[in-house]
Structure 1
Amino acid sequence: MPLAAPSDAALTLLADIGGTNTRVALADGAVLRPDTIRRYANAGHAALWPILAEYLTAGGSPRIGRACICAAGPVSAGKVTLTNLAWEISEAELAARTGVRDAAVLNDLAAQGHALDALAPGALRPVLPGQPVSAPDATRLVIGIGTGFNAAPVHRIGRGCFVPASEAGHVTLPVTDAETLRLHDFIARRSGFADVEEVLSGRGVALCHAFVCAEAGRGTPLDPAGVLAGIGAGDPLAEAAGRLFVRVLATVTGDLALTHLPHGGIHLIGGVARAIAPWLGRFGFATAFHARGRFAALVRDFPICVVEDDYAALAGCAIYLDRLCKDRPASSQN
């Protein structure tokens, strides 16, 4: 389907690369154009470039002046290496491939952080009310749960935001009781190292179910979609897996909250976060999150919501690059 006719000004090309899908869109400056959003499966593509070429060709080859991509992986020296996909993308190659002068690469959680101020009110699904602080310098926290897991604080700096790099999904899985110790050992035997992402991700939903089946000595391990369907159908083993997943999520979220003190709010983002959201209350998220001993009152202050907007990272890319270009010294823009 051809894209809507571009404006007279050159547009910004955006891409949000996850472990499973890539979303591509255009923006007018800092404003995302929702009518231009397209989604592509990463499977079958050896790199990002054929996806971008297909997108632009299908859209009638609109005039591109800038390009910004975000991806699920660590960024260093203008280059991102995806954690769950064998792609590596640099700002220099992005500029060369698209023919633009201004090109930027950032982590997908950073893009989500830059998008927070642009979210529509209806894009937020409340989980816990907390006591939000409206002060402009109140730290916020984004937690991404999808093909992988990551988290990063969002700090307001001047007219924009600073979202420091993080790989929070690869810290050691917390052990809080005998069951989570057995879960830790179950993962370590399978993977060699039990990190947070092994549980709090798409594959982690299935891993929790496999663990519950092994503990019960019955049942057949299911894929993530099967587990979620089983929860909806009231299957006891699927519900036990969901309850374990939610308890670990609440524990990790509480740890991150005490690390960053996000009085501006905690935002759960990603496909798995949205999928598990209906069961957070039923599976005891609040109880596990508040189980902080003498610090329980402190974590009760942090409001938590789920971001329902699947394309927020694209908006964040547009906002980030537009601010980057505006903040560049005038002499470098000539």
Structure 2
Amino acid sequence: MMTPSRSSARPLSFPVLVADIGGTNVRFGILPQAHSPLRTFPTVQTTMFDSFAQAAEATVLDATSMMPRSLLVALAGPLTSPSVQLTNAHWSVDPAELARTLHLSTVIMFNDFEALALALPYLREDQLLKVGGGEPSSRAPRVVLGPGTGLGVAGLVYGDQRYTPLAGEGGHVSLAPEGERDFALWAHLDRLHGRISAETLLSGDGLARLYRALARQEGVDGDWCREGADATGAAARNDPIADEAIDLFLTYLGRVAGDLALTFLARGGVYIGGGIVPRFADRLATSGFRAAFEAKAPHGPILREIPTYLITEPQPAISGLSSFATLPDRFAMDLSGRRLDV
């Protein structure tokens, strides 16, 4: 019989399979023992398989003789029921079914950015690119956000010598125009669900929306731009509309990051993850990102001291899940309804 556990510190049976399921890609790793090196596997697309179990079997189990006993899985969607439907992919993930299919003793579900937040205390300097601000306070709250297929957001707070990640759906907060440039552009933006949220503009589709809106302002055809890759490809061809779209994208990212920094008073730093911004690493420092981050009167002086970082580690959520598997007593989490033990 499977029973839920409240404790995050209960030991796991090894080997431990870790998986990060995004809207487009799924990444895998396996820990043979608590302090063994993490073994990673090729990233695969969710559209290549009918289910997570099929992807795990084909990508991991067929490539190793190790049979995992536990699964830590990060999901791009709210953990509102025992079975989780991904927000931007066709998979539904049922932990009880996974335990039966993959012969597991324990399955624990995490929000994908909650898993990324678990990695923040352990990221090294060579896994980060600092973009402005002062020095972080090691015990202060931290925030991570990241544009990809959607826009993920999570916080991390410290207390009683343990870290607690705070998962949410902050990517769906409203994004409002501020200056004349914004007010002119907003009239041309394609809305999502009748509104303009942060995710509407700060995602792969959001970059394409920005391109189409700018093209409409210029009176030229931009409807061919349907995905973020279309806009970045156009920028590589020196398309000035694409170049402006990327600048706006980074500026709006700074604006939302600054809002989240105020919300959490994140003196521990604000971290940018996701699959899109690392492609613009060489532009981030010279874009409007940091100025928009700090433009939060009357609290500009507070924001100027909060550091911002681009995460350059390619699989930070996998690293976060591995940290949890290795050091579960470093984290304080209520896993009611999302830890299943056989």
After superposition, residues 159-238 of structure 1 pair within 5 angstroms as 159-187=161-189, 189=191, 191-220=193-222, 221-222=224-225, 223-238=227-242
Tell whether the 8 Å contact from 2:175 to 2:198 is kept in structure 1 after alignment: yes
1:3 counterpart residue number: none
Q: The residue matched to 2:108 in structure 1 has which SS?
A: strand
Equivalent-residue separation in structure 1 for 2:299 and 2:192 (angstroms): 35
Offset of 1:127 from its aligned partner?
Answer: 1.2
1:89 matches 2:96: no
The one-letter code matched in structure 2 to 1:38 is P
Q: Which amino acid aligns with 2:312?
A: E
Does the CA-based 8 Å contact 2:189-2:212 persist in structure 1?
A: no
What secondary structure is seen at the aligned counterpart in 2 of 1:38? coil
CA-CA distance at 1:244 after TM superposition? 1.4
Native 8 Å contact 2:185 2:214 kept in 1: no
State the shift of 1:34 in Å: 4.6
Name the CA distance, whole Å, in 2 between partners of 1:33 and 1:186. 50
Deviates more, 1:104-113 or 1:31-40: 31-40
1:102-157, CA deviations, whole angstroms, 9 ceiling, x for partnerless residues? 210101101111111222321101111323223xx311111121111021110124
CA distance in 2, matches of 1:32, 1:273: 31
Q: Is the 8 A contact 1:131 1:300 kept in 2?
A: no
For residue 49 of structure 2, what is the aligned residue in structure 1? 45
Partner secondary structure for residue 195 of structure 2: coil
Partner of 2:149: 147
Q: Do the aligned partners of residues 182 and 86 (structure 1) sit closer, same or farther apart at CA in structure 2, a change above 3 Å counting?
A: farther
Deviation at residue 233 of structure 1 after TM alignment: 4.7
Per the alignment, in what secondary structure is the counterpart of residue 186 of structure 1? coil
Which protein has the bigger helix share?
1
Check the 8 A contact 2:31/2:39 in 1, yes or no: no
Question: Is the 2:32–2:66 Cα contact (8 Å) retained in structure 1?
Answer: no
Counterparts of 2:244 and 2:99 in 1: how far apart (Å)? 48
SS in 1 for 2:30: strand
Q: Is the Cα–Cα contact under 8 Å of residues 183 and 211 in structure 1 kept in the other structure?
A: yes
Contact 1:32 / 1:315 at 8 angstroms: preserved in 2? no
Q: Is the 8 A contact 1:25 1:38 kept in 2?
A: no
In 1, Cα distance between equivalents of 2:323 and 2:298: 40
Pairwise CA distance, 1:78: 4.7
Structure 1 equivalent of residue 112 of structure 2: 108
Alignment match of 2:131 (pick from 119, 127, 131): 127
- The change in CA–CA distance for 1:28 and 1:262 in structure 2 (over 3 A counts) is farther
Identify the match of residue 257 of structure 2 among 253, 256, 260: 253
2:58 maps to amino acid? E
For residues 291 and 102 of structure 1, the distance between their equivalents in structure 2, rounded to whole angstroms, comes to: 46
Residue 73 of structure 1 deviates from its aligned partner by: 0.8
User: Which shows bigger deviation, 277-286 or 108-117?
Assistant: 277-286
Alignment of 1:4-43 (within 5 A): 10-29=14-33, 33-43=37-47
**DSSP-derived class of the 1:271 partner:** coil
Taking structure 2 as the reference length, what is the TM-score of the superposition?
A: 0.85
Alignment partners' CA distance in 1, 2:59 and 2:341: 28
Tell me how far 1:319 sits from its aligned partner: 2.3
Pick one of 61, 68, 76 that aligns with 1:64: 68
Q: How many residues align?
A: 321
What SS does the aligned partner of 1:75 have? coil
Preserved contact between residue 12 and residue 28 of structure 1 (Cα < 8 Å): yes
Task: Kindly provide the CA deviation profile for residues 26-63 of structure 1, in whole angstroms up to 9, marking residues without a partner as x.
Answer: 01455574543221111132221110111234223412
1:5 is matched with which residue?
A: none
Q: Give RMSD over aligned pairs.
A: 2.6
- Segments of 5+ residues of structure 2 without an aligned counterpart are 1-12, 334-339
Deviation at 1:25, TM superposition (A): 1.2
1:305 aligned partner? 309
2:135 alignment partner, SS class: coil
**Aligned partners of 1:145 and 1:201 also within 8 Å:** yes
Unaligned runs of 5+ in 1: 1-8
Q: Higher RCO, 1 or 2 (CA under 8 Å, sep at least 6)?
A: 2
How far apart in 2 are the matches of 1:73 and 1:91? 14
Structure 1 Cα separation of the partners of residues 290 and 128 of structure 2: 18
1:169 touches 1:197 (CA, 8 Å); kept in 2?
A: yes
56 and 277 in structure 1: CA distance in 2 versus 1, 3 angstrom threshold: closer
Distance 2:151 2:123 in 1: 21
